[in-house]
Structure 1
Amino acid sequence: MSLQKKIIKLLKVKPIIKPEIEINNCINFLKNYLLQHLNLKSLIVGISGGQDSTLIGKLCQITIEKIRSETKDINYQFIALRLPYGIQYDENDCKDALNFICPDCILYVNIKDAVLSSEKSLKKSGIIISDYIKGNEKARERMKVQYSIAAVKKGLVVGTGHAAETITGFFTKYGDGGTDINPIARLNKRQGRLLLKHLNCPKHLYFKKPMADLEEKNPQKEDESVLGVTYDIIDSYLEGKKIDIISKKIIERLYLNTSHKRHGPITQ
């Protein structure tokens, strides 16, 4: 079996999807897990204004509304978190995403002071972090905040990770990669767009160029320029299609080099 086929089998990506079926699968997946754990009463997602968090946020809100309708328990809620670092350049997209999602609750926590405090503490110990490492600090601080709120609100932290990020390792270990449950892990980027289109999401949110925007020296750097390959090509690879040999080598090299991100701690 080729590496491509092994990866597709492992990530469970389908070559063709029906958006309405995948939407229902995600909602039922979240609903069943939440109802199996009676101590949990909320779903929590950080909303960035991009495609992935917008999709997950909408799926979570629909899920909670279904649970409230079925159980008559008004204590269930979806909590959308805004976690900017200082002033976010695309704040209008975040507002549009929240208007589309219509969350039960929106909480704002600016992570800048916490990240700068961590950077300062490290410097006092003689550890000078690079701009890249500081970017990962931001991602982990956001996840730390989500888990603090989850502990108070009896919440489940829902991930936004999908197969195109997983295969390339394009996520921060124990940052955006450290969640409780990932409903769209089996979908690639273009499939996520299809779900948002089916949900009548504003087009500019799912056609927006993906960017992590974690580095200050290279702000608003697009994901594809970092990866060296487009999401469209990555998606085609995940759907079992034949792609050019250079892109294939890039994708498989990224996959092999980031294997440590896709498993838990090593034990004896």
Structure 2
Amino acid sequence: MSASQQHKIISALHTLSSIDINFEVARRVEFLQHSMVSAGVKKLVLGLSGGVDSTTAGKLAQMACDELNQQHGTSEYQFIAVRLPYGVQADESDAQLALDFIQPSQRLEINIEAMVKGLDIGAESFINLAKPSAHKLDFSRGNNKARARMSAQYYVASLLNGLVIGTDHGAEAITGFFTKHGDGACDIAPLFGLNKRQVRSLAGHLGAPDVLVTKTPTADLEENNPQQADEDSLGITYDQIDDYLEGKAIGIEAQEKLEQRYGQTEHKRQTPVTLYCNWDT
């Protein structure tokens, strides 16, 4: 592995070694506003999980709507925060804390448990035929949860003529640590180009509760491993990922693991495959 590969990845993901927090907040709020005005919509939709990523993206969205309303003397620009639990969410208190911090224009809750279990019922005969391992079945169901959540967000956005916000950032993008057509699907991604510690910095600057800013990230999709930390799943720490994205040297083993993941997950960062796709990394 070489420094040139690191520079190539950094360039592709548009990450920076350091940021001006005030500048980043301002330009990302402006980006959301421009996206709404260009698309001719007045609603932004995002699923709030209680993690730092959705908390930060949600706050930026509400700020964008508040400023547009002030500029145009209206209340039509709205951020719709959607809670999307599967049954009972273990960290529901964090999600409610995030909502109270953001103060979204509207709050909705759609429990996705029936959607996910409905897929299991519909595919029961195939599941019995395929006989997947317990891990494979649990992992696939986890991806179904992520896709059900995004489907629900797009349903809300369709009803309200709005845009769906995603929470993808540099640390997730490089590792491909998102569900394809699940949390990886969206209309606009206001956190893109930031690494994890920079997202935390924005959240802290915006006044998010410390418990959310410092919270251990977890996708919490697998029932056999509830609340499993992202870093345990990845086998690499966010500090190592962020250092790499800032152009710093990290251990050889960590660098090789990270660059291998980047190559293996390139399909997640691309549009559907055509004759003209180029997956070279």
1:183 is matched with: 190
With 174-183 and 116-125 compared, the bigger mean Cα shift is at 116-125
How far 1:127 moved relative to its partner?
5.4
Tell whether the 8 Å contact from 1:122 to 1:128 is kept in structure 2 after alignment: no
Tell me how far apart the structure 1 counterparts of residues 105 and 130 of structure 2 sit (CA, whole Å): 41
Distance in 2, matches of 1:262 and 1:116, equals 28
The reply to whether residue 45 of structure 1 matches residue 46 of structure 2 is yes
Q: Give 1:215 deviation, angstroms.
A: 0.3
For 1:108-187, list aligned pairs within 5 A. Answer: 108-125=109-126, 126=129, 130-187=137-194
**CA distance in structure 2 between the aligned counterparts of 1:192 and 1:57, rounded to whole angstroms:** 12
1:105-160: CA deviation from partner (whole Å, max 9, x where unpaired)? 00000000110011110113445660000000000000000000000011100000
Match of 2:73 in 1: 72
Counterpart selection for 2:26 from 24, 27, 30 = 24
Quote the offset at 1:75 in angstroms.
1.7
Q: What secondary structure does 2:123 align onto?
A: helix
User: % of aligned pairs identical?
Assistant: 46
| Paired residue type of 1:22 | E
Work out whether residues 80 and 107 of structure 1, in 8 Å CA contact, stay in contact via their aligned partners in 2. yes
d(CA) in 1 for partners of 2:27 and 2:232? 33
Per the alignment, residue 279 of structure 2 pairs with none
Q: CA deviation at 1:29?
A: 0.4
2:17 corresponds to which of 9, 15, 18: 15
1:210 & 1:36 partners in 2: Cα distance? 33
Q: 1:63 to 1:197 in 2, by over 3 A?
A: same
C-alpha distance in 2 between matches for 1:25 and 1:14 = 15
Ranges in structure 2 where 5+ consecutive residues have no aligned partner: 276-281
| Map 1:46-65 → 2, pairs under 5 A | 46-65=47-66
CA shift digits 1:22-69 (9 cap, x unpaired): 00011000001111122x110001000001000000000000001111
The AA in structure 2 aligned to 1:141 is A
How far apart are the structure 2 equivalents of 1:76 and 1:61?
9
Q: How does 1:167-246 map to 2 (within 5 A)?
A: 167-246=174-253
Q: What is the CA distance between 1:202 and its match in structure 2?
A: 0.7
The Cα shift of 1:244 comes to 0.8
- Counterpart of 2:6 in structure 1 is 4
- Alignment partner of 1:97 is 2:98: yes
Q: CA deviation at 1:9?
A: 0.6
Summarize the Cα distance change of 1:182–1:128 in structure 2 as closer, same or farther, 3 Å threshold.
farther
Alignment partners' CA distance in 2, 1:37 and 1:216: 38
State how far apart, in whole Å, the 2-side matches of 1:219 and 1:74 are: 40
Give the structure 1 partner of residue 278 of structure 2.
none
